[in-house]
Amino acid sequence: MVGNDFRQRLRDKTVLIFSLLVPLALMGVLSLTFGRLGNDSVELQPATVVAASEDNGQLGSILLDSLDSLETMDVSIHRVPAEEVSPETRNGGAALGIMIPEDFTTAVTSGEETTIRLIEGNGSPLETSVLISVVTGIVDQFSAGSVTAIAGRIAGLSPEQAAETGRTSAAGPPQLALAEGFAPAEQLSLRASLVAGQTGLFLLFTVGFGVLGLLTEREQGTLARIRSTTAPSWTVVTAKAVVGFLLGVVASAVLLTSGSFLFGVNFGSPLIVALLVTGVSAAATSLTFIVARLVRTAEQANVAQSILAMVLGIAGGAFFPIQSSGFMAAIMDLNPVGAFIRGLGISAGGGGIAEIGAPLAVMWGFAVVCTLASRFLPDRGAAA
C-alpha cells in the first residue's frame, strides 16, 4: 500500500506544484524583493574621487594613495585644479571630492590647525559614506602626528626635531591592528532563512497529500473495499502516514538542496540537516492525523490544513523572524517550524547533534502529542 500510494502521489501534478515549484518560486521572488539585504556581505561598487592637492609635503599624497589602494572597493583618483573639484564632483557622477590645502603637511607636523574640504557627489550614498569614513580614519591617524609634535615641543625638542617626530608619527603605520574574526552566531542569513522558512511552511502542505488521502478514498468507496480484505485496518492508516512522511522528507531534502545551490547558502552537516528534516516531517505528519479526524470531507481537510500551515508557518518565522517574550514566547517555542529553523541555524553555525537536542525534542514532542491526541478525538468522517 505504501509503494502504490507513493507512486500515485508522485504522479499527481498537484503534489509537484505545491511541494516544489511554488516554494522555489516564492523563495526566488522574496530573494529578489529583499535584494542586497539577502547577502551576508555588501559588495561595494567602483567609485571615483575628484581630488585637488596643493600640499607641499608628503601627507597629502599619502592620503590620496591610501584611497587609491583600498582593498574593499575599487577607487579611481581624478586629479583636477582646486577650482574644478566642486563642479566635477557634482556633475561628473563622482562619489567624493577632496581639496587638500597647501600647508596640510606643515600644519599636521607642527600641531597647527588645518582643514580638508570634502564634497559629496551624486554617486551611490553607500560608497560615498565609506570613502568619508576612510578619509576620517586617515586624518585621525595624521592627528596623532600633531599631538606628537606638540608633545615634543613641550618636552624641549627643537622645532625641527618636533616636526620630524610628528611627521614620522603621522606617516608611519599604526601601532595597533584589528583582525576580523568569525564566531558562529547560530543564526541563518536572510537568504538561508527564506529557504528554511519556505521549506518548513510548504512541508505542512506536502505531508497532507498522504494522510488526507484517507478522506478521498472514503468518499470514493475505496477505503471500504480495502478494509474488506484480510489486511488489518490499522495498516491502512499507517500506510498513509508513511506516505505523507516520505513525501515530506523528499520534498524538504529537494528544497534545501536546491535552495543551497540557487541562493548560495550552507546549512552545515548533511547528517544534522537530515535529523532535523526527519523530525519536522514527523511533526507535520502527526498534525494531519488531527485534521483527518475533525473534518468530514477532503475539501474541508484541505481548508483546515491550509489554515494550520499558514498559522504555524508565519508564527514559526517562515517569512520573517517573530520576536516575543513571556508566555507567548514559551508557546511559540513549541512551534515545529520555528524549531526546524532554529535547528538549521545551529547546524549552519557548526553545531552538532548535542546542540540540536532542544529543537529535535520540540519536533518529536509535537509529533507524539498530536498523535496521541488524535486517538481520543471523534472521527467525524466515519460518523458521517
Same domain, 214 and 325: yes
Same domain, 363 and 242: yes
Phi, psi of 107 (to 5 degrees): -65, -40
Is-contact 288 211, C-beta < 8 A?
yes
Look at residue 178 and tell me if it is in a domain.
Answer: no
246-274 mean pLDDT: 86
pLDDT at 125: 81
Counting the structural domains of the chain, the total is 2
Other Cβ atoms closer than 10 A to 7: 11
Which of 171, 200, 222 marks a domain boundary? 171
Look at residue 259 and tell me if it is in a domain.
Answer: yes
Q: Which residue has the higher pLDDT, 135 or 43?
A: 135
Band of residue 272 on the pLDDT scale cut at 50, 70, 90? very high
Same domain, 17 and 57: no
Same domain, 67 and 155: yes
pLDDT at 55: 82
Question: Of all residues in the chain, what percent carry a pLDDT higher than 90?
Answer: 6
How far apart CA 19 and CA 13 sit, in angstroms, is 10
Q: Which residue has the higher pLDDT, 16 or 254?
A: 254
Same domain, 201 and 338: yes
Look at residue 180 and tell me if it is in a domain.
Answer: no
pLDDT tens digit string along 15-43? 677 677 777 787 777 666 654 444 545 56
Look at residue 93 and tell me if it is in a domain.
Answer: yes
Same domain, 278 and 258: yes
353-358 mean pLDDT: 89
How far apart CA 234 and CA 31 sit, in angstroms, is 44
Band of residue 364 on the pLDDT scale cut at 50, 70, 90? very high
Is-contact 49 89, C-beta < 8 A?
no
Look at residue 182 and tell me if it is in a domain.
Answer: no
Band of residue 271 on the pLDDT scale cut at 50, 70, 90? very high
**Range(s) of the domain holding residue 18:** 2-38+189-383
pLDDT tens digit string along 279-305? 999 998 888 888 877 877 767 777 887
pLDDT at 189: 76
Which of 171, 205, 229 marks a domain boundary? 171
Is-contact 342 185, C-beta < 8 A?
no
Residue type, position 122, single letter: N
Same domain, 134 and 8: no
- What is the CATH number for 120? 3.40.1710
How far apart CA 337 and CA 276 sit, in angstroms, is 10
Band of residue 368 on the pLDDT scale cut at 50, 70, 90? very high
Question: Is pLDDT at 78 greater than 80 in this prediction?
Answer: yes
Across the chain, mean pLDDT equals 76
Question: Is pLDDT at 173 greater than 80 in this prediction?
Answer: no
Same domain, 210 and 136: no
Question: Is pLDDT at 182 greater than 50 in this prediction?
Answer: no
Which of 111, 142, 171 marks a domain boundary? 171
Look at residue 140 and tell me if it is in a domain.
Answer: yes
Question: Is pLDDT at 336 greater than 80 in this prediction?
Answer: yes
Same domain, 54 and 33: no
Look at residue 176 and tell me if it is in a domain.
Answer: no
pLDDT at 35: 47
Is-contact 246 9, C-beta < 8 A?
no
342-369 mean pLDDT: 90
Those residues with Cβ within 8 angstroms of residue 306's Cβ, 6 or more apart along the chain or in another chain: 205
Same domain, 158 and 228: no
Same domain, 120 and 154: yes
How far apart CA 25 and CA 324 sit, in angstroms, is 29
pLDDT at 161: 59
Same domain, 103 and 196: no
Look at residue 263 and tell me if it is in a domain.
Answer: yes
